[in-house]
Amino acid sequence: MVLPTLKIGERLARFPFVQGGMALRISTGVLAGAVAKTGAVGTIAGTGMTLDELRSEIRIARSISDGIVGVNVLFAARKFAELIKTAISERVDFIVSGAGFSRDMYGWGKEASVPVVSMVSSAGLARLAQKLGAAAVVVEGAEAGGHLGTSRSVKEILPEVREATDLPVIAAGGVANGYEAADLFAMGAEGVQLATRFIASEECTAPEAFKHMHVATPEEDIVLIDSPVGMPGRAIRNRFWSDVQEKGMRLPRDVCRSCLKRCSGRFCILDALDRAQKGDVDGGLVFSGSSASRIKEILPVREIVRRLVEEASERLRGLQAEPAH
């Protein structure tokens, strides 16, 4: 069995691996461009950026590669529509929303002929996405980092979604290497999305302390947090997490930055993510997938993708050679 073919709109990826969009300013143009240059798919996370910053990051990615680059924006962000429309105006290869489902995106994408990729956590949402005009769906399981739309494993959801839609299906959540990706390919996924693995890359513009937190983190230190967005999130245990869990923090109204459409006020997620991105990895929020416990080193993007391809191909050949039962 060879690697599957992943097509997003009219664009065909050389390798069926997608780098996930991670805010704030973790998935920037430098990282997305480096991933696209290898023949895989790069994603810029637009959440928390100004419109000019997003335009700049898209152009940086384009200066590095003419490969496939898309933009992900948190649906709960107050400037969701403006950021997505800015990405469309820059002619990105696809748009995708995280932590929520946007019906409006389909109209915006159709009008501009920009493919919409939908993140789904059930067969029902996959069917709806296809009906509304999605070009592909990302099936994200509970193993993923950041905001989670389900408590079910990607391996549990994937077969249901595969049966429910004939769109390209990209599986996501907790994948650290090509061997693990191959198991999802064998279950019917055309693509596999990895986010945490690309934090531990040389091209990721996050501080070194942030990157190193995602290398060999003990499994018991990858925990859930109640996000003010209204969804649980998967993160790394640190002082910030302990304060939120133990002290029941509340955000003073006079310091609210109004970054979300709706906010529980438990803490400012924009500030928490920003602190971590600037190097305060103990006092900020560090989102991470369960794969961090199995990531062993920081590598160049080209080497990460090379290993993904080699390991997945090896595993798929082995599965093909196994006698049928």
Sign of CA dihedral 30, 139, 181, 76: positive
pLDDT, residue 1, reads: 55
More reliable by pLDDT, 253 or 49: 49
> Do residues 117 and 178 share a domain?
yes
Radius of gyration of the chain from Cα atoms?
18
Q: What is the pLDDT of residue 321?
A: 79
pLDDT (average), residues 115-125: 95
Domain that holds residue 252: 213-290
Residue at token pair 């245990």 = 237
- What pLDDT is recorded for position 104? 93
Interval 19-60: pLDDT, tens: 999 999 999 999 999 999 999 999 999 999 999 999 999 999
Q: What are phi and psi of 232, to 5 degrees?
A: -70, 155
**Residue 310 located in a structural domain:** yes
- The answer to whether residues 45 and 130 belong to one domain is yes
78 shares its domain with 222: no
Whether residue 237 is found in the same domain as residue 185: no
Question: What pLDDT was estimated at residue 94?
Answer: 98
Give yes or no for a contact between 210 and 199, defined as CB atoms under 8 angstroms apart.
yes
Given a cut of 70, whether residue 128 has pLDDT beyond it is: yes
Q: What is the pTM of this model?
A: 0.95
Number of structural domains (the chain) is 2
106 and 228, same domain (yes or no): no
* CB hemisphere CA count around 109 (13 angstroms): 27
Beta carbons within 10 angstroms of residue 256's beta carbon: 13
Residues 83-104: pLDDT tens digits?
999 999 999 999 999 777 889 9
In 74-88, which positions are buried (b, 16+ CB within 10 angstroms) versus exposed (e)? bbbbebbeebbbbbb
- Asked whether residue 146 is domain-assigned, the answer is yes
